[in-house]
Amino acid sequence: MNLKDPSGRLARWALRLQEHDFDVKYKTGKKHSDADALSRNPVEEETETSDKFLAVTTSMNLAMEQKKDQDLAKLKLLSNSSKNEEFRFIDGILCRKNFDPDGKLWLPVIPKHLRADILRHFHDAPTAGHLGFAKTYDRIRKRFYWPGMYRNVVRYVMHCRECQRRKSVPQRPPGRLVPIPPAIAPFHRIGIDLLGRFPKSAHGNKWIIVCTGLLNTICNNKSLADSRSRRNSEVLT
């Protein structure tokens, strides 16, 4: 796809389409009578966030944005040294070598003021779906680089209000059931359950203790005024 002056929405579409292998064939208006409802579907306006984010992916803009971040100056110096293999300027953009063999070879370095937009885009956007830390981090690290990205993503996902509101706190898995060996004589092994607290009875009791012999299932109940262990053991004797 060749554009004389790629900028704005056209440039973003050109970038998006670059990854596909396709031929553009012109069809005159007359022949284009078989368009279906989908191809006539109105295109929704892009939100400000995605607009801003996609804008930075165009090379000219990103090079300019990088100049605004003073903290990147150190990395720029590194890129100038001949010994350095980690940082390099590609099409005017400061890039860092990607050590992941599956990804792109060079990743653009993102200046500080654009990082929040990227975090939002890859975590909060309707297409991002508020995924957990690992998936959000994986999506971002495959495309961009900035120092301290790992920490930033951890913090961002941990403090996301929407995630806190919707997702349950991860709990430890319940333990395994342990079989109880059978009793060898009546009341050799008993099960005790304390029920309560109930409304106070006429005798001042609020608790019910239930003792069951595990062999003969004989059940012994007693009401108690309190749930302290000394009173409970008195019932058993």
Task: Summarize as ranges the residues that interact with Zn ion (CB under 5 A).
Answer: 130, 160, 162-163
The torsion region of residue 202 among left (phi > 0), alpha (psi -120 to 50) and beta comes to alpha
For Zn ion, the closer CB: 130 or 135: 130
CA distance linking residue 29 with residue 40, whole number of Å: 14
Of the pair 116, 225, the CB lying nearest Zn ion is at 116
CA distances in angstroms from 69 to 66, 146, 178, listed in the order given: 6, 12, 60
Tell me which long-range contacts 4-9 makes (C-beta under 8 A, separation of at least 24). Answer: 6/58, 7/58, 7/60, 8/55
Judge whether 111 and 65 are in contact, CB under 8 Å.
Answer: yes
Q: With respect to Zn ion, which residue has the nearer C-beta, 67 or 167? A: 167
Q: Which is nearer to Zn ion, 93 or 157 (CB)?
A: 157
State whether residue 61 is helix, strand or coil.
Answer: helix
Closest distance between Zn ion and the C-beta of residue 160, in Å? 3
Residue 25 beta carbon to Zn ion: minimum distance, rounded to whole angstroms: 43
Q: How far is the CB of 135 from Zn ion (least distance, A)?
A: 11
Smallest gap from Cβ 151 to Zn ion, in A, equals 17
Task: Give the residue at shortest CB distance from Zn ion.
Answer: 160
CB nearer to Zn ion: give 25 or 151: 151
> Which residues in 103-112 are b (16+ Cβ under 10 Å) and which e?
eeebbbbbbe
Question: What's the DSSP call for residue 57?
Answer: T
For the CB of residue 127, give the shortest distance to Zn ion in the complex, in Å: 13
